[in-house]
Structure 1
Amino acid sequence: MTWRKPLVLAAALGLSIAAAHAQTASLDVPVQAGADGPELDACPRLAAVTGLDPKGDDFLSVRSGPGGRPYREVDRIHTGQRLSVCETRGPWLGVVYAAPEGQDCGVATPWPRRTAYAGPCRSGWVHRRYLTDLAG
């Protein structure tokens, strides 16, 4: 079953199955992770939020799908937030990120099949313009 590994991780971290699925269910286009190769992490790139205007809103919108409208904002993240990049659709990146920072999101190991990310961390879509690659 493709959902087993994220749910086992969520249970190990003391999260309920409902909580693990709640954030993914709120996405119009779930972020897909895994199966890019037997030796690659489920989300093979690490990036950080950069280039936000400190005199502007100073946040990056995380959206429910790869684009502006009609996809809605599901979260706001700030400069320095680290993200695991799982997929690319044009200028939009499907990402997984920890809140609080430092939480193990379970995407730093290979997954045998490509599947929708289901927690325990948050996921969504951001524009690549505001990310700088750190690794991968």
Structure 2
Amino acid sequence: MVSKKSKNIHSIQDMTDKVLGAQAGSSGYLDFEAQPDLLKNRVKDQKANQYQSFNEALIDLKNDRIDALLIDRVYANYYLQSEGILNDYRVFSAGFESESFAVGVRPADKSLLAALNQAFVELYQEGKFQEISQKWFGEDVATSQVKNQE
């Protein structure tokens, strides 16, 4: 989740009677509906304002039309960092199970998959992966598979 630091929201406990936004159909929104005890039962009217895109939701967050946005941490960090406003916002966990990201390749492209995986490991060993990750996502987003190949 993400909120403006000026809103003084540090965790889901601070979301009582606050206005929440989420992208319609996103995994975060589905978790919000499926696990109401974590967040839904706290927020104003026990609902999230739904948006067709995260960009629309982020505009409303910037303009104080919502108090917080249910969004993937990696994307939130990337967007806020690329806009140069990361220091004005707080990114925190909603308590839902985390998700991993992947680079997709066709099943027949086994050599490409091996080359990509090896490149990630080498970049991580050289510290370049962490540097890029910090620049664009505000944190190290390497998976345990990449980290454990050191």
Q: Which has the higher contact order (CA 8 A, sep 6+)?
A: 1
Which of the pair has more CA radius of gyration? 2
Q: By percentage of residues, which structure has more strand?
A: 1
TM-score by length of 2: 0.25
